[in-house]
Chains A and B, each alone.
Chain A
Amino acid sequence: MTAAVERPLVRTAASRARTATTTGPSREGLVSWGFLAPFLVAFALFLVWPLVHGLYLSVTNQSLTGAGGSWVGLDNYREALTDPTMWRALRTTVWFTVVSTIPLVILALVMALLVHRGLPGQWLWRLSFFMPFLLASTVVSQIWVWIFNPDIGAANSVLGALGIEPIAWLQDPAVNLYAIVIATVWWTVGFNFLLYLAALQNIPDQLYEAAAIDGAGPWRRLTSITLPQLWPATILIVMLQVLASLKLFDQAYQMLIGVSTDTTRPIVQYIYESGFVGYRFGYSAAISYVFFALIVVVGVFQMTAMNRRRNLS
């Protein structure tokens, strides 16, 4: 990852210089469009057009059934911004992002640091931590719904063995969002773990050799070499994780079917519910754009933070 991210910035300039010396521009222009056409057609049809058309739908009363479609101006946005359910869904989404990102980054770091020590059984460690990431959300949800079953689930059996009262993990609105967090951490931490592992492998040996000569102990090496060297990776991982967590839908929807979801409904689920359960495509499109705005703001904020850091160093 670090390789892919850092290298190109230098190379693009170089390759551009090289391409400039190849054949004449007019024929090449034609060839270029030939190469680009398949992707661009798909890009236009399935990304650009929906993005634009969605904006149009958001100012109509379009229904799922194809009925409606009359212009309603900014009514949908006005309704969205005064809709307590939407705000609640946004708050839930942001809170989930906070409480999931922290363990997803810290645990991944701890796992990567431990595995990177070169203890025997490398493939087993990698398999254990990364395997859940390979599972479909449905599978993850089925496994955890089973574990969180209030009567016969493994989670309550474990608590029982420790002398703790059983918890209605998915039914109790006070805890069910955290049950989702637990399942999510289990599911996706492996991805961050691999990113950290790759970053660790890119730290030059010389740094450690120099430190060893200076007589630095393991703790010292960790705090003064490893962690600072991992900082760019950490920023990237946090950024990816925040964007991923904001898109929460699958596991929250799947694990809490049939449970009142007022306290756990993420914003993407509200988009789904307004559009497909409530048939209101126009309104749902408007909420989609509110969500999109949130993503862009977070994304731009993170990019700026990252660039500023890069400029400093």
Chain B
Amino acid sequence: MARRSTMLSRRGLLTGAAAIGGAAALSGGLSACGAAGAASAADPDQIQFWTLLSGGDGGTMADMVAKATGSGAAYDVKTTTLVWGEPYYTKLAMAATGGRPPELAIMHASRVPGYAPGGLLDTWDVGRLAELGVSQDDFPEEIWKKGMIGDKVFAVALDAHPTVLMFNPEICDKAGVLDSDGRLRKTESPEEFIDLVSQVGGQTKGTPPLSYGYLGDGSQMFRLFYTFYTQHGAAMTFPEGGKAEIDDDIAVESLQLMQRLLDGKLAVQRNDYAAALAEFATGRSGLLFTGVWELRSVKEAGVPFDMTAIPTLFGTPAAYADSHAFVLPHQNEVDEHRRDLTYRFVADLLKGSYEWATAGHVPAYLPVTQSPEYAKLTPQSHYADVAERVNYDPAAWFTGSASNFHSGFGNAIQPALMTGKGAPGAIDAFRARVDRLLKTQNPVDPDGTWKP
């Protein structure tokens, strides 16, 4: 304290400045906050829009928004991109709980069953949508129904993004597995498909011909597994409070096909997502199991490629998919004007979703996919039929993209894929996990009192 006297003046200045600044902030600041809080209020035509799309998808979405707002639209849109996955869904739930969320947000359709029961989402007014030219008839049935709980619509799909098979037409042509139209030869059983893959293997110079990466990626494992499972025409249902209904034989057969493919000759036995993608994108392998969203990155890599639905190997056409869908996060006080603008904005985005197809996704809005313009779009039009055979995650509060269910599936299955052994045990482990989750009430509605 000996220095107090010499430091008084400077400190006095500091304290004074802080006090003045503080007072200014208290008066001016709070009005400023009023202004900031009202920044949206000041512009009654601005819609806050949250997405989890970044990279190529984010850029495409930004273009679509710019197009929608540019043409003398009645609304202005502020798009906010949040970190993909769990951080996004956490923030969205917290915002909806607080009652002052953005007017509009994008969600994976598979997450809606876990979200809606807590009152986190407002419902879409079907009549209002229809006035704007958006109705159930404009969507493939499965995709529209995925946005519904009971008879209420909680989500309107923008797209379906299924798992598909990419192939390198040059390599496949040399291997003689293409038909006269340059499409991959049809295969209708696991054996036929394995024959096709080994034939391609003759042209890949020692690299296994099929690329599939899954290590540490539960979603990636579930996508392929569930594609094969549903191709059996089998369902997988998770009744709340009950036991998982999984057809064990079919599940084991599906997993065993994955094991047969991952034998080290047809496909590298232990590969991760990025490495598998790189194998294909550098032209070393001829086939790749992946999602449509990789279209752009493979295109940019400059390798010749085409895409097709995953061949129907067990009788029923089916592919795992999810949808990006529009939702209305629950607001305590709805601004009807803004909500009206939100409806219009969504209708405009759906009608402009041709652009979205360039990112690989299959637009959900049929007038777009049925347009002559879209039919000319390659390779997109080569797999547009997948939209008719999509299979989402089994509905439950705990399933969906970026959920723990996927990582739990991965933990149960990965050892079997890595060793090529113990498929029945892996399915048992998976079932046990699901049963444990089914015993727990949906935490957004722990007393189970919610009704749609």
Contacts and interface: CB of A to CB of B under 8 A. Distances in A.
Contacts of B85: 258
Interface in A97-123: none
B449 A276 contact: no
Contact of A279 (B86, B87, B216, B443): B443
Nearest to A258: B85
B94 A276 contact: yes
B333 to A, nearest CB: 16
A260 B216 contact: yes
Given A257-B87, A277-B86, A279-B118, A63 B93 contact: no
Contacts of B119: 65-67
A67 B441 CA distance: 12
A66 B97 CA distance: 8
Nearest to B84: A258
Contact of B93 (A67, A258, A279): A279
Among B119, B446, B450: residue with most chain A CB under 10 A: B446
Given A63-B118, A260-B216, A279-B118, A68 B94 contact: no
B447 A278 contact: no
Given A257-B87, A260-B216, A67 B445 contact: yes
A265 interface: no
B444 A63 contact: yes
Contact of B90 (A67, A70, A276): A276
A-B pairs with the 3 shortest C-beta distances? A65-B118, A68-B446, A61-B446
A64 interface: yes
Contacts, number: 63
Given A257-B87, A260-B216, A277-B86, A67 B94 contact: no
A65 B90 contact: no
23 contacts: A61-B441, A61-B446, A61-B447, A63-B118, A63-B443, A63-B446, A64-B94, A64-B444, A65-B96, A66-B118, A67-B117, A67-B444, A67-B447, A67-B449, A68-B443, A68-B446, A70-B447, A258-B85, A260-B216, A276-B93, A277-B86, A278-B443, A279-B444
B120 interface: yes
Nearest to B1: A3
Nearest to A70: B447
Interface string B114-128: 000111100000000
B83 interface: yes
Contacts of B97: 64-66
A166 to B, nearest CB: 15
Interface of B: 83-87, 89-90, 93-94, 96-97, 117-120, 216, 407, 441, 443-447, 449-450
Contacts of A282: 446
Contacts of A260: 216, 407
Contact of A65 (B89, B216, B444): B444
Given A260-B216, A276-B94, A279-B118, A65 B445 contact: yes
A145 B89 CA distance: 23
A66 B450 CA distance: 12
A278 B93 CA distance: 10
A84 to B, nearest CB: 13
Contacts of B94: 64, 276
Nearest to A282: B446
A107 B214 CA distance: 43
Contacts of A276: 90, 93-94
Contacts of A277: 86, 89-90
Nearest to B218: A260
Nearest to B119: A65
Contact of A67 (B86, B89, B118): B118
Given A257-B83, A279-B118, A67 B446 contact: yes
A123 to B, nearest CB: 16
A211 B55 CA distance: 67
A280 B90 CA distance: 12
A122 to B, nearest CB: 16
A62 B444 CA distance: 9
A278 B398 CA distance: 10
B298 to A, nearest CB: 20
A257 B82 CA distance: 12
Contacts of A279: 93, 118, 443-444
B137 to A, nearest CB: 34
A64 B447 contact: no
Nearest to B90: A277
A70 B441 CA distance: 13
A57 to B, nearest CB: 12
B216 A68 contact: no
Interface in A48-83: 61-70
Nearest to A259: B216
